[in-house]
């Protein structure tokens, strides 16, 4: 299980770097997009990034951190949180 998780982490990191190389996103936003797509579908469908404002996303992400802890899932670490927030902020309403 740990090895599988590590593999997923390595793959998502590489995909983010490729996206950033495209120039559409900063490195941080690109990593955030990959994490968002990988982590935020565990419990429900992927939400539309433009459904909330930047500040609303911050508060909602904090709530989702709690939901992950309650479900015995590792929450996003500080860097991942900043990456996902940066991506959502770039697409927010």
- Binding residues vs ligand HEC (CB under 6 A): 39-40, 42-44, 47, 60-61, 63-64, 67-68, 71, 73, 84
Proportion of the chain in helix, strand, coil states, percent, rounded to 5: 70, 0, 30
Q: Specify the residue, 21 or 43, whose C-beta has the smaller distance to ligand HEC.
A: 43
Structure token digits, residue 77: 């670490």
Minimum distance of ligand HEC from residue 75's CB (angstroms): 9
Write the DSSP assignment of 16-39 as a string of letters: HHHHHHTTSS-HHHHHHHHHHHHH
Minimum distance of ligand HEC from residue 68's CB (angstroms): 5
Q: Specify the residue, 4 or 46, whose C-beta has the smaller distance to ligand HEC.
A: 46
Minimum distance of ligand HEC from residue 14's CB (angstroms): 20
Q: Specify the residue, 19 or 35, whose C-beta has the smaller distance to ligand HEC.
A: 35
**Interatomic CA distance for residues 3 and 30, integer angstroms:** 24
CB-based contact 35:79 (threshold 8 Å):
no
């Amino acid at each position: 299980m740990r090895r599988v998780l590590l593999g997923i982490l390595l793959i998502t990191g590489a995909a983010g770097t490729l996206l950033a190389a495209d120039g559409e996103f900063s490195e941080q936003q690109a990593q955030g997009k990959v994490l968002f797509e990988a982590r935020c579908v565990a419990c429900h469908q992927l939400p539309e990034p433009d459904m909330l404002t930047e500040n609303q996303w911050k508060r909602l992400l904090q709530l989702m951190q709690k939901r992950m802890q309650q479900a015995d899932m590792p929450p996003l670490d500080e860097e991942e949180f900043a990456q996902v927030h940066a991506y959502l902020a770039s697409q927010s309403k």
